[in-house]
Amino acid sequence: MPINPDFPKGYEVIGKHYNKDGEHFHFVWGPGRLADAAQNEECKKDYATRGENIEPVGVHGTMVAVDWDVCVADGACIEACPVQVYEWYRTSNDVPNNEAWKHPGGNGESVKEHRKDFTDKADPIREHDCIWCMACVSVCPPQAIKVDQSNLEYHEKAAGTYNEALAKSSQPPPHHH
């Protein structure tokens, strides 16, 4: 199933993912739901190898929004983007999907075939560099991406209300091995 076209309505901010440049960030919206990644054979195999459950993780980014529950680590978006908005988040910090936002990214791989494995996700770590060309949206096989400049309104509203201390103190969900 594609990303909800009405995103980010119905979701709320569950994290703030910084770029290592110390300045830029994107929000993470949840709670998410099990979708394409939970049914994809390559994804299931690699999560099993790592001993990680496939859990709802939600959407990374607001104007460039990637539904990580839909993303199957194809990497077409990474290859298509003319301004390198995306990186493979696990090549920056190799942690479970739902902990990615707790570790600043920005130095990960931007080559399609350089994904760590099929538990990796395309992260719009340079969301602010987007030039709204829509190339990533049209090439994503499961339609995990929504690019909408007008979602800046949601980003700015969240930036005004986000409680960093509260979010940082929340414990990551338990992982069952």
Nearest to 27 by CA among 154, 166, 172, 170: 154
Given a contact cutoff of 8 angstroms between Cβ atoms, the answer to whether 56 and 31 are in contact is yes
The span of 9-17, 97-105, 134-142, 152-160 binding ligand SF4 (CB under 6 A) equals: 134-142
> Cα separations (Å) of 169 from 21, 27, 91, 150, 164?
23, 17, 25, 31, 9
* Interactions with ligand SF4, residue window 92-131 (CB under 6 A): 130-131
CA separation for the pair 1, 91 (Å, rounded): 26
Binder of ligand SF4 out of 1, 38, 76, 80 (CB under 6 A): 80
Given a contact cutoff of 8 angstroms between Cβ atoms, the answer to whether 26 and 124 are in contact is yes
Size of the site for ligand SF4 (CB under 6 A): 14
Q: How far is the CB of 27 from ligand SF4 (least distance, A)?
A: 16
Binder of ligand SF4 out of 57, 70, 78, 136 (CB under 6 A): 136
78 scored as a contact of ligand SF4 (CB under 6 A): no
134 scored as a contact of ligand SF4 (CB under 6 A): yes
Contacts with ligand SF4, residue ranges (CB under 6 A):
64, 80-83, 85, 130-136, 147
